[in-house]
Amino acid sequence: MPQFQYQVRGQGGAVTAGRIDATSLSEAASMVRGQGGYLLDIAEAGQGAQSLLQKITSFSINFGPGLKDVYAFTNQLAVMIKAGINVRDAIGDIADQIDNPKFKSVVVQLREDLEGGKPFSEALARHPKVFSPLYVNMVKASEMSGSFGHMLERISNYLHQQIETRSMIRGAMVYPIIIAVMAISTTIFLLTFVLPKFTTLFAGKEALLPTPTKILLAASFFLRVYWYIVIGIVISAGGGFYYFIQTPYGRVWWDLTKLKIPIMKKVFSSLYITRGLQTMGEMVNAGVPMLDTLEITGEVSGNVLYQRMWERVYNSVKGGKKIAAPLAQHSLLPGNVVRMISAGEESGKLAEVLTDVADFYAQELKNTIKAVTAMIEPLMIVLMGFVVGFIAMSIILPIFKLSQLVK
């Protein structure tokens, strides 16, 4: 008889683990629930099941419901549904374990809507800021096809891929940001604390100083005396830029700029292609209607230019044309990708082609991020060395010059 390992949370909050013999996963789950407590995770022994509680606590706590909260909820719900637990009971158990108060209120509302007789997809659609249209439509498709548990697992895998992609992008930016902060901090320290100590030495000899030294002395004076103006300019510039990119024109300009930045453009293009094709592939595999798939793909693309491209494809398909025809008119997707999509349409294997291409670009994105990070690190170090070296030489050169005049 198969043996299953499980973890449960007791009424007091303590988590315990154990093993149980049963003929099936559903029977094992029922037996464990009959012992009391909330079932956290259950799997056949030897399959390396990971505690869902550990998955939940491994994510950082958000002030509001975030992608990681939704992923943890979906992952846990998928396991419990596959174990044969009723969806209302499963959501009720999950709600009792959630620490994020805002997300907990959302899950509690889901349970109440289910108890009121609403379909799960309709209950999810009432929280568009938490559950995306992709999530809702995939659940809706599973309700019609009867593959709810399997679909939740697919959604969970998709969310996990999105989280990994975000983590890679953020991780690639951490080191350059640290170097940039260090360079700015070092420059401010040298200008406000080190350089002023040489002003008395240079006093009365300003005409003999080289131009770089004069510029640094002026910058040091302005920074020390009018520091509040500098802070105001920085805050105003940052706020103005943020406001500008929120406008329709600014958003287009910024999204276009991201695709033209010499080092980062390949990262951004790979990211948008991966995100769009992964979304499209998952929804086609789930049986979501093509027009809904194209509309949602445009919404989650993350770039206005790609969104407009998918909107044109949507209008073209709505008019009776195939997907590849309008895509071939744009340069945002490589020609080989368009040709593969066309071949998938002709062979009736579009879902498989989209999945394969998305997987390829996901790996391409990882490789690109590694390559870009490897290039950025030495560039930032050289930049920091240049700034510090420029300030040091601007101080040392006039000292040498003055010492020669004294001789």
- Spatial neighbors of 374 by CB under 8 A, at least 6 apart, are none
Beta bridge partners of 42: 6
- The answer to pTM > 0.85 is no
List own/partner pairs for 55-60 with CB under 8 A and 24 or more apart.
56/97
Return the structure tokens found at 309. Answer: 């491209």
In which order are the strands placed within the sheet that holds 15-21? 15-21, 3-9, 38-44
Beta bridge partners of 18: 6
Secondary structure E strands in 15-93: 15-21, 38-44
Domain pair 3-131 / 169-407, same fold = yes
241 pLDDT higher than 90: yes
**What is the average pLDDT across 343-364?**
84
- Cβ atoms 163, 74 nearer than 8 A: no
**What is the average pLDDT across 272-290?**
83
* Superfamily holding 169-407: Type II secretion system (T2SS), domain F (1.20.81.30)
Alpha carbon distance 199, 220 (integer Å)? 10
DSSP assignment string, 9-36: E-TTS-EEEEEEE-SSHHHHHHHHHHTS
Residue 40: the pLDDT is 57
**51-55, 300-304, 308-312, 324-328: least confident range:** 51-55
186 pLDDT higher than 90: no
Domain map of the chain by residue range?
3-131, 169-407
pLDDT digits (tens, 9 = 90+) for 40-70: 566 666 544 344 444 433 434 345 678 888 8
Alpha carbon distance 309, 380 (integer Å)? 35
Residue 254: the pLDDT is 92
Looking at the domain that runs over 3-131, which CATH code has it been given? 1.20.81
For a pLDDT cut of 90, what percent of the chain falls above it?
7
Which one-letter amino acid corresponds to residue 70? V
